[in-house]
């Protein structure tokens, strides 16, 4: 039996005003929690599937609140692909309203990929959810996506698995290209300081020392204690630059950059892709953009 919170009933009543069919005529109805997962799902699903995304490009997946169109889409969906490990606090509302035939698939929690702990903030010690920031983590997501889609739509399994194989090959090549590009940054400059601990897996993959003011964006941002701790770390390490992310105010990193006298660079894209005409229009573009930001800020060789 469905378990629905009162706020869900209210949102469902509001959605009756929407007369446009959410998914069109396709029989395959998929939800992605945010744009990075949408991009990975599309690489496996192909063009014969409708995908709706809860959190649009440019918005913070951590702090999103479900809208009536979100609720209507979820009501009609067969599968919801989300990250898990606490990235999307609003998923508890999706779980409350989920009908019996809706499959909820947490990619990070089911991926064959070693998690890292969050090292700071109120979620310290919990698994860091940002596994997709390493292409190997994204490849592990692709495997889960292909398995889930094949189980639900076995008549398309061969196509799903073929596209997944191609996507993983592309991600392997991307990983190699990023590694080669990052070789231009001197080892002594590989200090990656950001607002949120969203670059931990990237740092592990490409041999950076990483630190952040807070652990996840949905905790208190830039508390006095967190700022003081980061300030002391900056004094001790003197990085070449600090970096801010596209979904958080840059005021915290700007204040620290001014305090220690280093440049502020960004934005880095972590929790969202950009608009289609922006620099992070898909997953590979997002990582390539971030790598160029690191080159500019940390003294790497210029792009040819």
Q: Which residues pair with 211 in a beta bridge?
A: 193
Using CA atoms of 151, 76, 56, 147 in order, give the dihedral in degrees to the nearest 10. 0
> Do the two domains 6-176 and 185-298 of this chain adopt the same fold?
yes
Distance CA 37, CA 188 (A): 34
* Ranges of each domain in the chain: 6-176, 185-298
Domain 6-176 has CATH 3.30.1360.230: no
Cβ(77)–Cβ(52) under 8 Å? Answer: yes
CATH level 3 topology of 185-298:
Rossmann fold (3.40.50)
Average pLDDT, the chain: 90
pLDDT, residue 186, reads: 95
> Which residues are within 8 A (CB) of 262 and not within 5 positions of it... i.e. 6 or more apart?
234, 238, 239, 240, 241, 242
Nearest to 245 by CA among 214, 276, 224: 214
Distance CA 62, CA 88 (A): 5
Cα 247 to the chain's mean position, in Å?
11
Answer whether 0.85 is exceeded by the pTM.
yes
pLDDT, residue 221, reads: 75
Parts of the chain with a pLDDT under 70? 1-26, 300-304
Kindly report each contact of residues 98-101 with a partner whose C-beta sits within 8 Å and lies 24 or more positions away, as own/partner: 98/2, 98/74, 99/2, 99/75, 100/2
**What is the three-state SS of the chain?**
CCCCCHHHHHHHHHHCCCCCCCCCCCCCEEEEEEHHHHHHHHHHHCCCCEEEEEECCCCCHHHCCCCHHHHHHHHHCCEEEECCCCCCCCHHHHHHHCCCCCEEEEHHHHCCCCCCECCCCCCCCCECCCHHHCHHHHHHHHHHHHHHHHHHCHHHHHHHHHHHHHHHHHHHHHHHHHHHHHCCCCHHHCEEEEEECCCHHHHHHHCCEEEEEECCCCCCCCCHHHHHHHHHHHHHHCCCCEEEECCCCCHHHHHHHHHHCCCEEEEECCCCCCCCCCCCCCHHHHHHHHHHHHHHHHCCCCCC
The CA-CA-CA angle for residues 260, 221, 85, to 5°, reads 120
């Amino acid at each position: 039996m469905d378990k629905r919170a009162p706020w869900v009933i209210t949102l469902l009543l509001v959605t009756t005003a929407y007369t446009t069919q959410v998914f069109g005529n396709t029989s395959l109805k998929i939800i992605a929690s945010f744009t990075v997962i949408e991009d990975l799902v599309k690489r496996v699903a192909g063009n014969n599937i409708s995908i709706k995304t809860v959190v649009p490009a440019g918005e913070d997946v951590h702090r999103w609140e479900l809208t009536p169109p979100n609720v209507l889409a979820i009501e009609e969906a067969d599968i919801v692909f989300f990250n898990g490990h606490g990235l999307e606090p609003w998923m508890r509302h999706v779980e409350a309203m989920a009908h019996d035939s809706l499959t909820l698939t947490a990619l990070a929690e089911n991926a064959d990929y070693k998690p890292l702990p969050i090292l700071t903030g109120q979620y310290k010690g919990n698994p860091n959810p940002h596994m997709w920031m390493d292409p190997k983590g994204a490849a592990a997501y692709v495997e889960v996506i292909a398995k889930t889609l094949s189980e639900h739509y076995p008549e398309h399994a061969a196509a799903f698995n073929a596209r997944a194989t191609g996507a993983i090959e592309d991600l392997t090549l991307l990983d190699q290209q990023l590694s080669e590009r990052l070789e231009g940054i001197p080892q002594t400059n590989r200090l990656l300081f950001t607002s949120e601990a969203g670059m931990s897996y990237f740092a592990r993959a490409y041999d950076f020392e990483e630190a952040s003011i807070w652990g996840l964006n949905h905790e208190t941002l830039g508390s006095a204690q967190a700022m003081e701790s980061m300030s002391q770390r900056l004094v001790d390490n003197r990085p070449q630059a600090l970096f801010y992310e596209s979904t958080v105010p840059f005021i915290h990193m700007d204040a620290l950059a001014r305090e220690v006298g280093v440049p502020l660079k960004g934005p880095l894209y972590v929790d969202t892709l950009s608009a289609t005409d922006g620099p992070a229009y898909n997953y590979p573009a997002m990582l390539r953009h971030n790598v160029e930001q690191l080159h500019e800020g940390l003294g790497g060789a210029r792009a040819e």
